Every structure is written in C-alpha cells, then in structure tokens.
Structure 1
Amino acid sequence: MSRRPEGTDGSDWTYREIIEDRYKRMAVNMSATFLLHQVQSAMLFFKIAWYMIPFFIEDHYPEPFMYAFLVFLVVGNICFYAGKPRGRSVLPLMKVAALLVMGTAALHFVALWRYHLLDPKTKQISRRMYKLLRDRGTISSSVYLNVFTISEAILDAAVGLSAGLCFFTFNNWVKDAMDVVKEREERNKAVPVRRPPGAVKKRK
C-alpha cells in the first residue's frame, strides 16, 4: 500500500484506511453480547428469586437447580466483566463466560422438562403460591392462579430466549476473536527474529 503524501489530512479516499468487515462484526457482536448478557443475567436473577418463593412461604428448601443457576450467574458475571477490561479482552475468561451462558440455557431446558413432565403439578410454584394465599384468605378468585401460571411461563420463556440469544452472539464473537489471535500468532511466527545491532552469534 502506498504511503499517504505528506501534507494531506486523510480526507482523500485513495489513502484512507479500510477496516476489515470481521472487526466491524466483532464490534457489533460485542455490543449486542454486552446488552444481552445483562438482560440474561437479570432474567436469571428473577428466576432464582422465583425458585426462592417456597423457602419464604413454606419454609422448604429451593429446588437444586436454583443453586446451579446461582453459581452460573455469579461466576459467569465475574468472568465476563473481568475478561472485558478496557482495551483488549481476556479471551480465556470470555470463553468461560460464554460456556456458562450455554450451560444456563441447557440447564434451564432440563429444569423445565423435569418441572412440567416429571414432577406432579402440585409441586409447581405458581400452584403452591395460589393454594397458600387462598388458604390464608388473602385471595379467593381462581383468576389469580392463571395470573401466577402465566407469569411463570413468561419468566421461563424470557430466561430461555435471553440465554439462547446471548450465547449465539457471544459464541460468534469468541470464534472471530480466536481467529484473530490465531492469525496474529501465525504472523509472529512467520516474521524472522532479528538480532540487535552488534550482537554476536553464539557458537554451538
């Protein structure tokens, strides 16, 4: 590429630098990942709070899935924000964060499968909450059962959708970042190492 003539400000298109499309895609994916990771973390936090309802209203221990989601939430956010400092990202930490998002999505679908197909309906949190409030005389209409059930379904859909979208964009960014690192290492290997001036070659 020819050098820019001295005295120019770069406004001429002939000497303007062109950014590769991959780097533009990486910037877009990282911006989307940052937003989706926050949304996914918020939805997962609400899901954990939903799992905690039996502990407060019935003094029962939450579902075991709640503890796994809590670990994924805490460790995933630590790796994500520790791996995304200003400037260059720490790729190993970002890989761990992406894997935890994928694990969240997979574990969520396993939890839903067990919750709706294996466990009896009387164990569903929405029904248990409705029964407790009805027995206490706080509510009497069956409309509240529909409200609790629909709210639970919306929360489950939000958790699964946000985790899936976050992993999709996050994984695309990680793959592009790995390709960039690989190409950089190959370029560094291809460039011969020059000895500084005056250095004496060691005898074998």
Structure 2
Amino acid sequence: METASKRPKSGAAKKPAAKARGDGPSYLDGQLLIAMPVMEDERFARSVIYICAHSSEGAMGIIVNRPAGSIDFPELLVQLDIVEKPEQIKLPDHAESMKVLRGGPVETGRGFVLHSSDFFIKDATLPIDDGICLTATVDILKAIAGGTGPKHAILALGYAGWAPGQLENEIQENGWLHCDADADLIFGDDIEDKYDRALHKLGIEPGMLSAEAGHA
C-alpha cells in the first residue's frame, strides 16, 4: 500500500522470499531483534524489530517501538481516500486507536500492517509465526476502517532490510540480541517501554549491557 507519493532515493536490499521454519538454525523469522548499546546507527538505537523474513537472501523486519510522530491513523485513512473526513467519527474504536509506527528506513512511503492471524487476504497476506501475519495492501486498511479487520494490528511506515549475510554479521559483532516474540511486545500500547521489556524477557537489566562491543 502506498501511503505517500515520495519514494526513497537510495537503493535497498530485496525483501527475501518467505521461508519455512527450520530451513536453517540461524534464521530468525518470527523473532525479535533487540539493539545493543553499541549500535552506532541512530536509526536503530534502542530499537525492537520483529523479523518478518530471514533467509540466505537477506532479512526484512518491522521496528515495533518507534512511533511515527504526529501521524494519526484516522487522518491517514482520509489522505488515502479510504474514508471521507466526516466519516472519521464513525470509525471502530480499534481503528481510532491504531498505532502508526516508523517501521524502518527502507520504503518509508509504503505501509506494512503486522496483525493477528484472524485476518487473511489470499495472495497478499504473509503468515510469519505464532499467529502473526504481514499484509501490505490497502485492502487491510479498508477492512480495519470498516470493522472487519484483524483483532490486533499495527501500521508501520517503511521497513528494515538486510543484504545476504549482513544481519548475521551484525549479530556476530554484538550489534543485536534476539528473543522469542509475543503478541504483547508487538501490539502493546506501551511503545516506549518495549525495549526494556524485551530485555527483561531475556532476563537482562538494561544497565547490565556494556556499551563496548565484545566477543565470547
């Protein structure tokens, strides 16, 4: 779904094809990446990223803890001509409160909806893992606006992408931790607390992490 006419000028790694779980022990689709303090790229500092696809062709994920500033979901529906402005007051409660996030630096003019698996569009929805799916067509926004969308969903503008082997190298260099995902960390309202909560899921207090890279 296109959410803006402006497209990124820089190139990006091609999104890898979906892969069945178990194709390789190092593949992290369906997992959360947690940025280490050593992360120098400010675009990913303190970020929590849900990995949607990871294979020998690269990786693609959505940052789930970075709000998209002043962008409001009901207003976005008006901009996309999904609803007329007077109809905003008729939107379902979950559409009114739906979170809009900065999903990553690639294709920031495109929207990606991470959602629960109770909604599916043939040839458009990608099942990922543990009841989580990804849909990137405007039809899911229409369904949400009409009250027939998924029970849980977030809209992300853009995504994070890695070239073949790049994510593996960054993990080896202590750029990222990873852990099992859960619906609350992905869809929860406490966006600002997700980073610390993801670390707690690993039994780590933020102060325990050294800002210096090290290798076991």
* TM-score normalised by the chain length of structure 1: 0.23
More strand by share: 2
* TM-score normalised by the chain length of structure 2: 0.23
